Amino acid sequence: MTSDNNASARYFTSVCYSADGSCVLAGGNSKYICIYEISQQILVKKFQVSFNRSLDGILDELNSKNLADGGPIDVNDDSGDEADFSANLPGARRGDDGSRKSRVEVMTSQVAFSSTGREWAAVSNEGLHVYSLDDDMIFDPISLTEEITPSAVRSNLKNEKYSVALLVSLHLNEFALVREVLEEIPYGSIPLVVKSIGPEHIERLMQFVSKCMLDSPHLEFYLQFCLEMLRAHGLHMEKYRNSFMRAFRSMHRSVQIHHDELKRVCDENRYTLDVVEDQTQITLDRK
């Protein structure tokens, strides 16, 4: 037994702090990527990068049935395409003597957190894996009481109590519901609604708004939300800058994406118009 073949001789080759600095993400020459909480030094979560048995180092116990004297038997090497490219040298009577690696080992060469704090990525032998909080809905309610139900949200919406409806939906923390409420709020009452949301919910609201903005056609509506949030709660945000960093970044990212898209279209239109203008000028001159 050497350090090479010892299954416990795995180590981290890349570490990275999360955007808020509370956790450390670590990946190495193993199939696992670990997230540690730093202040209490506990393992929060362990991700397995891949379950692909075509890679080496996935199974915890190997089956001796798949192992011959010369190396691992490839299960699928009957008369397929692979058989056309045999590893043997032409004319060789014995098998291949080389101690070449036939399988790729599983390992993570680098991990990094996104600055928005909503996702992180890892580079492994299989490619780039992006793990995101946004894709799967996580039910994470806060200070729930019996009155806080989706039907309460809807009845409040019906009675035009928008800020109450928004608060209740934020308590429930369900994306679809928050989005429904957000889109129901009339444009004119955005400033009032935003002002009535307490500072303890404003970060959550920012995250939801920036997420909604990404794929929504109501760009101005959400931009108005962003503006009002910054206006109404700017001082609070400035004071607790660190805790708002993630929300700021995701908001910035959403706005930036829209800006880039619009800019391209606008530029294109402007240049096309310029060309058309010039062309008409030229034709007029000719006449």
Partner 1 sequence: MYTSSGNVLLSPVSNRVQVVDLLTHTVRTLSCEARSNIKTIALSPDDRLLIIIDTENHAMLVNFHRSVVLHRFTFKRNVRICEFSPCGAFFAVTCGNHVQIWHSPGLRREFAPFVLHRTYTGLGDSVISVQWSSDSSVIMASSRSGTVRIWTVQTVDSFEPVTLSGHKSSVVGAYFEKITPGSGGRLRKVYTVSNDGSLVSWNCVYSDETKDDEQKKEFMDASSSAVNFFGGMGNELFSSSNKNGLLSDNTTSQAQHLLKAKWEVSARHYFHQDTEVTATNFSAANNLLIVGFASGIFGLYELPSMSNIHTLSLSNQVIRTVAINDTGEWLAFGCPSTQQLLVWEWRSETYIIKQRGHAYGMRCMAYSNDGVVVATGGEDGSLKLWNTSSGFCYCTLKSHTAPITACVFTNSSVVLSSSLDGTVRAHDLHRYRNFRTYTAPTPCQFTSLAVDPSGEVVVAGTMDPFHIYTWSMQNGKLLDILTGHVGPVSELKFHPTRGTLASASWDGTVKIWDLYKREGEPENIKHAQDVVCCAFRPDGKHMVTGTIGGLLSVWNVEDCKLLFEIDGKHDIAGGEFFLFLLRSGLPFPTLY
Contact 216, 254 (CB under 8 A): no
Q: Contacts with partner 1 in 181-220 (CB under 8 A)?
A: 214
Per CB under 8 A, 155 contacts partner 1: no
Q: Return the number of the residue (11 or 187) whose C-beta is nearest partner 1.
A: 11
Contact 196, 163 (CB under 8 A): yes
Contact 221, 213 (CB under 8 A): no
Stretch of 11-19, 88-96, 174-182, 221-229 lying at the interface with partner 1 (CB under 8 A):
11-19
Per CB under 8 A, 284 contacts partner 1: no
Q: Return the number of the residue (30 or 169) whose C-beta is nearest partner 1.
A: 30
| The binder of partner 1 chosen from 87, 123, 152, 219 (CB under 8 A) | 123
Structure token digits, residue 210: 């920036």
The helix/strand count (H/E) of the chain reads as 7, 7
DSSP assignment of 247-273, as one string?
HHHHHHHHHHHHHHHHHHHHHHHHHHH
| The binder of partner 1 chosen from 92, 93, 99, 192 (CB under 8 A) | 99
CA 225 to chain centre: 23
| The binder of partner 1 chosen from 90, 93, 128, 286 (CB under 8 A) | 128
Contact 119, 47 (CB under 8 A): no
Per CB under 8 A, 119 contacts partner 1: yes
Q: Return the number of the residue (26 or 182) whose C-beta is nearest partner 1.
A: 26
User: Could you tell me the CA-to-CA distances from 100 to 71, 74, 103, 164, 186 in Å, in that order?
Assistant: 10, 14, 9, 67, 67
Contact 172, 180 (CB under 8 A): no
Per CB under 8 A, 50 contacts partner 1: yes
Q: Return the number of the residue (161 or 259) whose C-beta is nearest partner 1.
A: 259
Q: Return the number of the residue (41 or 151) whose C-beta is nearest partner 1.
A: 41
Q: Contacts with partner 1 in 65-84 (CB under 8 A)?
A: 66-67, 71-72, 75-76, 78-80
Per CB under 8 A, 1 contacts partner 1: yes
